[in-house]
Amino acid sequence: MARGLNKTASTTAATHISNTSRCSNPAAAPAKPEVFGGAVLADIDWSQPWFAPWRDLGEPTARQALQLQNVAEALNANANANTYAAKRDANEVTFVPQSALTEGQAYEDFIFKTAQVPTRDGLHDFFNGLCWHRFPLAKRRLNQLQAAEIDTQGIRHTRGPVRDALTLFDENVVLMHAPDAVWAALQARDWLKLFVDLRAQWQHVHLVLFGHALLEKLVTPYKSITAHVYRVANDVNPHDEAALDAWLVRDLQPAKLATKPYEPLPVLGVPSWWPDNAERVYYEDVNVFRPKREVVSKSSQTLAT
């Protein structure tokens, strides 16, 4: 499973993610650290707008992880919490220590075959676990598709287009339900139109930060954090999370994912999410809000020469 993304990453979608699977190696495993790795959970500012939808689920789970000194145990305990009891049956996985992952077995394949999610003490796997609780059907669908690709393609140096797209979704996607004009401006990378001219339209935009690497990075926010946007169909009620979860199961199809149906979004450009973006000049930083590159076909290049 791919880990965090570079702070200077391009706003264009990544391609050909290296297939470095997360595997257990008991012989090389270090001694249990004296300091709890999940202590960083105390650094999460749940009042930030991007964490607000996660707060009811995440804050008590983080508190319990800090008390238990164990992220997996806290996530398992949360599975029985009254707030998310209705989703318990759909979320059939349990969270286990990273050491449970069979040596040499792909992380995704292990989850598929055992219904257990290897979990390290830290922000990355904490947010991954929260997403399993909040969107169990979509997470299960992503895992099923990963397992199917591993079964047919095997483990190769690169993941291939479908596994690549699945990993990007799991790690870095933000789901967007938005008016057509907003989506068109995003596709065009017309940042001033998107965030300045259409600013009033953002009251009709609903975002769901799904990617757990994206959530991890936002614990210590910086301007260039860029998400991969996946559009939610207009006829889906984005405020009904059960409906959204079910829709994702239907919509996440290999053929669609192979096209990498994502658009880049510097998330701190979202109106009201960052104080500095109240000024137009914030969006004139081309190092972050990059113009769309023109794609020149080989035939056009040949004619030009």
pLDDT digits (tens, 9 = 90+) for 172-204: 999 999 999 999 999 999 999 999 999 999 999
User: What's residue 305's pLDDT?
Assistant: 44
User: pLDDT > 90: what percent of the chain?
Assistant: 75
| pLDDT given for residue 92 in this prediction | 78
pTM of the entire predicted model: 0.84
> According to the model, what pLDDT value does residue 12 have?
38
User: Tokens 């973006």 sit at which residue?
Assistant: 277
Burial 262-288 (b: 16+ CB within 10 A, else e): bbbbbbbbbbebbeebeeeebbeeeeb
3-state secondary structure labels for all residues of the chain: CCCCCCCCCCCCCCCCCECCCCCCCHHHCCCCCCCCHHHHHHHCCCCCCCCHHHHHHHHHHHHHHHHHCCHHHHHHHHCCCHHHHHHCCCCCCEEEEHHHCCCCCCHHHHHHHHCEEEECCCHHHHHHHHHHHHCHHHHHHHHHHHHHHHHHHCCCCECHHHHHHHHHHHHHEEEEECCHHHHHHHHCCCHHHHHHHCHHHHHHCEEEECCHHHHHHCCCCCCCCEEEEEECCCCCCCCCHHHHHHHHHHHCCHHHHHCCCCEEEEHHHCCCCCHHHHCHHHHHCCCCCCCCCCCCCHHHHHHHC
Mean pLDDT across the chain: 86
Per-residue model confidence (pLDDT) at position 7:
40
What pLDDT was estimated at residue 67?
96
Instruction: Identify any residues that bridge with 228 across adjacent strands, giving them in sequence order.
Output: 173, 264
In tens, the pLDDT along 262-288 reads 999 999 999 999 999 999 999 999 999
Q: Which comes out higher in pLDDT, residue 14 or 253?
A: 253
The pLDDT tens digits of the residues spanning 16-30 come to 444 445 655 444 444
Q: Over 90: is that where the pLDDT of 87 sits?
A: no
